[in-house]
Amino acid sequence: MGASAAEGGVSIESGLSVNVRLGEVETLEHNRDKGLGITVYFGQRKGSASTSDFSPAAIAETVRAACDIARYTEEDEAAGLADAELMATDIPDLELYHPWGISAEEAIELARQCEAEGLEQDRRITNSEGAAVSSHDSLRVYGNSHGFLGSYPSSRHSLSCTLIGQADEGMQRDHWYTIARDASKLESACAVGKKAAERTLARLGGRKIGTGQYPVIFQSEVARGVLGNLVRAISGGNLYRKASFLLDKLGEPLFPERIRIDERPHIKGALGSAPFDNEGVATRERDIVSGGILQSYVLDSYAARRLGMQTTGNAGGVHNLFISSDDTSFEALCREIGTGLVVTEVMGQGVNIVTGDFSRGASGFWVENGEIQYPVEEITLASTLQEMFRGLVRVGNDVDTRGNIQTGSWLVEQMMIAGE
């Protein structure tokens, strides 16, 4: 139809999800989804269309629609396929596909077992928001007119539980979950239920603390979100829109000198692994921060062209981001701060990527004499991401492996805490 370039993607997904509450099945869902997307380029003009109907007539109509859109759009100098020489030529088997084969009945029993274990831990666990089991498989195929054609299957399985505890001081809720590509690597149902109960019980009797500046430990699962703010700030879309406090900061110190943050996309079986990105560009290991200095951004080809740079193979996001950890346990971090706050949950959207300002509601635990004393609630943390990154005293060895961004707990030198 006259297009100068084209790219297409197909995805097929299937899965099972079960939710059980107080022993009763609340939802049972089987899903099977498929989709095809086509993007065409007429020079620098771009058009996209998609369909879930794979019949030849529907596909032809989808292509026609994409071409019609492209003919009437304005030219964009940054539009186009990723450069041909960057396409992945070797697609390794990263062992991302491990089908579970669990039946609905088995999933229901597993969820019931998980929830029952949590409810039995203590009489103060009085209610439940339920336990859930999920198993999903997918196949993704991408090709473009450079001649690239690549595909790989993947799987993702999880088990979670959320419980409610009650004491004289009031009610609290907390949860735990486990996730893996290979179901044999999930924590047991009993372990998940027990951990959810322990976390819920630990939050009972929460207090406020006085306003002041204190050292803060972000528990590993919360620290992952703080590190995620760095990814947002160095992502191409925010950079070329001039909506990031890290615009034009390549080569400048961002963290203490010992800190390294790197991407490892080819770890077998990891949640963030991928042999190529959403544009067919080969993924590779690389440093984002080295010696505390910002070395690279996170770019797809469009953002890279807008910035006068080259794609980093991150169309679709980062792939297994790690931060160097110190050989320090969580308990040792508590001893190191002496007096301060452990943050186990943050709330609200108070992170401004344009300025770096950080202000979020939080809850956690108060530490004195190097040991946790009591739970803390209804407080607000305030600082800037710049100060938090520079003030990163220690990264614990308690790495949370349940995501694409992996980090241990962070000990930040000082933050303002608004309490009573």
**210/194 same-domain check:** no
Main-chain phi, psi angles of 223, to 5 degrees: -60, -30
CA distance 193 to 200: 11
β-pairing, 357-368 with 410-418? Answer: unpaired
pLDDT score of 420: 84
- Cα(393)–Cα(413) distance, integer angstroms: 6
Q: Length of the chain, please?
A: 420
Same domain, 137 and 232: no
Tell me, yes or no, whether 109 and 245 share the same domain: no
Question: Considering only CA atoms, which of 237, 224, 216 is closest in space to residue 363?
Answer: 216
Looking up residue 149, the CATH number of its domain turns out to be 3.30.2290.10
Q: Out of 203, 235, 252, pick the residue that ends a domain.
A: 203
Q: Which of 146, 179, 203 is the last residue of a domain?
A: 203
Q: Read off the pLDDT of residues 31-50 as tens digits, 9 standing for 90 and up.
A: 999 999 999 999 999 999 99
Beta pairing partners, 342: 217, 365
Same domain for 326 and 213? yes
pLDDT digits (tens, 9 = 90+) for 106-140: 999 999 999 999 999 999 999 999 999 999 999 99
Beta bridge pairs of residue 218: 343, 410
Residue 353 CB partners (closer than 8 Å, separation 6+): 229, 232, 233, 238, 243, 244, 245
Clarify whether residues 97 and 228 are in a common domain: no
Condensed to tens digits (0 to 9), the pLDDT of residues 263-283 reads: 999 999 999 999 999 999 999
177 lies in the same domain as 225: no
Are 378 and 232 members of one domain? yes
Of the three residues 150, 176, 203, the one that is the final residue of a domain is 203
> What's the chain's average pLDDT?
97
How many domains does the structure of the chain reveal? 2
Question: Structural domain of residue 261, as residue ranges?
Answer: 206-420
- The reply to whether 178 and 248 lie within a common domain is no
Residue 169 clears pLDDT 90, i.e. is over it: no
Q: What is the pLDDT of residue 168?
A: 87
Sheet of strand 321-323: strand arrangement: 293-294, 286-290, 261-263, 321-323, 405-406
* 265 and 159 fall within a common domain: no
The pLDDT assigned to 349 comes to 86
